[in-house]
Amino acid sequence: MIASLFHAIGDVTSSRAMYESAIRFGVVLAFAAIGEWVAERSGTLNISIQAMMIGGAYTSAVTWSSCHNVPVALIAGIVAGVVVALVQAHLSHQLAIDQFVVGLTLNLFVLGLALFLDSRWSAITQVVKPTRVPLLARLPLVGTALFGQPWPMYLVVPIVPLAWWLVFRTRWGLEVRSVGDNPQSADVSGIHVNKRRRQAILFAGATSGLGGGVLVLGQISINGYENGHVGLKGIIAIAAVIFGGWTLRGTVVGCLVFGYFFALQQTLPVLGYRVNAQLSATLPYAVALFFTAVFATRTRQPRALAQPFVRGLT
């Protein structure tokens, strides 16, 4: 029994396909999680991140089917994510409707809308060919995973430092952090609290919509749009932010950890191991639930996270 376990672990850790899948899943999660991190630093728990990814995925797929232009399709995905973000921001931070209710409603609405539209305008996509970095792509095990992916996957590379720069090196970022920790004091200082929160949600919409587009155009294992491809990756992105203790570095690490378990779910059957299908399907979400329960109580979240702002109330 123990020998079989160690043999299985050895097969998984020596599988190049395992690392490639883990990076692909982790990168897609990172697009959404980075935007969610910015939104949560402003005090907004953006549940509709799932709807933003679905909108971005479907819109990118339909756009590519129409024009066969990858950059245009990705831009369309960004626009779709921003549109969902505009609705979330308006309802939760202008009309002051409960942000959880708005987020859950948007998730169901966009999912249903994508299913309805897909039955009439079915989108068939073609995954972008991998871009191999000379020499580096030949590294053992991780070479192809890190340096042989389709080019849309590498768009996450500039997004990480961009998010860090916006939040920690700009006046806008300082104001975002202040409205996430102490909105009343920020308001007294002349900062428009709900405006900054809406702007942070728009950033999350743009990155999540892009993540949805990358999912359908940059994933080697996908050759068309299906709602099941997005799954609950938006919810896992929220868990990654909590796992990372509301830090950018930790959030990226969380995406890689959860991406690893998504990859494990797919790789074990390929390696010849018989795993209960239902148990395998729940593995990434069970892991996310476990880490969320552990890290949510051991790290300091923004003090005003998920708290609506009403001027004059303390």
Taking a C-beta distance cutoff of 8 angstroms, is the pair 168, 41 a contact? no
Average pLDDT over residues 67-77: 94
Taking a C-beta distance cutoff of 8 angstroms, is the pair 156, 27 a contact? yes
| Exposure string over 206-215, b if 16+ CB within 10 A, otherwise e | bbbbbbbbbb
**35 located within any domain:** yes
**304 located within any domain:** no
Q: Structural domain of residue 27, as residue ranges?
A: 14-123+147-295
The confidence band for 218, taking pLDDT boundaries of 50, 70 and 90, is confident
Q: Residue 118: its pLDDT value, please? A: 82
Average pLDDT over residues 1-13: 55
Q: Residue 82: its pLDDT value, please? A: 98
Strand partners for 150: 130
Taking a C-beta distance cutoff of 8 angstroms, is the pair 230, 213 a contact? no
Under DSSP, the state recorded for 245 is T
For 233-255, write each residue's pLDDT tens digit: 999 999 999 999 999 999 999 99
**310 located within any domain:** no
d(CA 107, CA 115): 12
pTM greater than 0.85: yes
**256 located within any domain:** yes
For 130-148, write each residue's pLDDT tens digit: 888 888 888 888 888 889 9
Residues of the chain with pLDDT > 70, as a percent, come to 88
Please count the CA atoms within 13 angstroms of the CA of 154 that sit on its side-chain side. Answer: 14
CA 314 to each of CA 182, 187, 252, 293, 310: distance values in angstroms, whole numbers, following the listed order: 10, 11, 34, 28, 9
For the four alpha carbons of 138, 139, 141 and 142, in that order, the dihedral sign comes to negative
Backbone φ and ψ of 34, nearest 5°: -65, -45
**303 located within any domain:** no
Task: Return the biggest CA–CA distance within the chain.
Answer: 65
d(CA 112, CA 51): 10
Q: What is the CATH number of the domain that holds 101?
A: 1.10.3470.10
**2 located within any domain:** no
**78 located within any domain:** yes
d(CA 59, CA 225): 10
State yes or no: pLDDT of 3 exceeds 80: no
**220 located within any domain:** yes
Structurally, how many domains does the chain consist of? 1
